[in-house]
Structure 1
Amino acid sequence: MKNMFLIGVLLSLCLIVSVQAQEEQPAGSLTSGTIASQFEYLNSISNNYQEYKVVKKTHLDQLRSNVVDSLKVFQVELGTQKEEIRSQQAQLAEVNRDLLALKDSLQEAEESRDNFSFFNIPIHKSAYNTLVWSIIGGLSIALTFFLFKFFQSHRVVQKAKRDLEETMEEFEQHRRNTLERERKLKRELVDALNKNSA
């Protein structure tokens, strides 16, 4: 009963307020503007009863319809944005796969640049450089050793030639001396024979 009485009082107040509200229409509308501005407009056109606001059912229905429509629009936009996010995530995943493939290709290219086949043996350039410089160093040491030995043997040969020339000169001198002595001995023999025969 008490509720019925309250409802009756509310309805009568609504009628009185609606008549007054029709006389004083504030600026704004329930058909345009943002939801917040529509709430403010509804609040301003609603009547007061104690600490409550009395709102026309048609205005409340209109506001609810506007809110539902706005929510539908937001849901559509949210769905569109979610679809865009999924599409962008798929694109990002594809870009990441391409990036990994490029990194692998780059690594293979760097390895193929730094490695090559030497006598059908794959070898890294730094190892090849070390090997080549080791061979060059070894050959340089061997060349130095053989040059040392060559010049040492060349000195020995030159000394042997000088010794041979000296020996040949001594031999020639000895031969001349021997021939000279033979001549002298022959002369002396001839002179001695001549003396004996005379």
Structure 2
Amino acid sequence: MHKSILTYCLLFLFSLTLSAQETEPTKAEAKPSLDHGTISSQFQYLTKKSSNWQGHEVIKVEMLNKYQSNVQDSLNQLKSILKKSEAKVGNQGGEIDNLNTEIQNLKKQLDETIRMKDSMKFLGMELPKSTYNTLMWVLILGSLVVAGVCFMMFKRSNVVTVETKQTLEEVREEFDTHRKNALVREQKLARRLQDEVIKNKNLGL
């Protein structure tokens, strides 16, 4: 089957090549040569350029070699196209196999989904949907309760923290006031002592 497909592809590509070569500009058709044109037109050009000798067509060796080279190039091109077509067909066959495998896998997954549509997995255990939904709601409500308790504790802790900061600030202010007062008293006592020392010195004189 693959060989038939490749044969049809080769014939199709060969016909496209001939059609493309036959649709060259009129200028090229007006001046046929061995440098361009189809293999058929080159052969006609070769026969026109041949000479007749004793009932035989004589063709120059260099022209014959040029034509042979052109034919070989065309064959090589067709072989290259054929190899690419074979590789493409092989790749497509591999892609088809991969698609078939993927279809089988999808079918298995679909069957598994249909089988498990009425059950849910929780911690590795299959539970009925009703039980699963109830469990989820219990967990959600429990989480909300825990979150509420945590929020209240945080709020209370925040109030205590604020009160503690205020008390600390008041104590600090009282301490600063006491320190300032003590410093003032100390300065007054120092001045008074200095005055007494000076007074005693004057009395001694």
Give TM-score scaled by structure 1 length: 0.44
Give TM-score scaled by structure 2 length: 0.42
Greater Rg over alpha carbons, structure: 1
Larger relative contact order (CA 8 Å, sep ≥ 6): 2
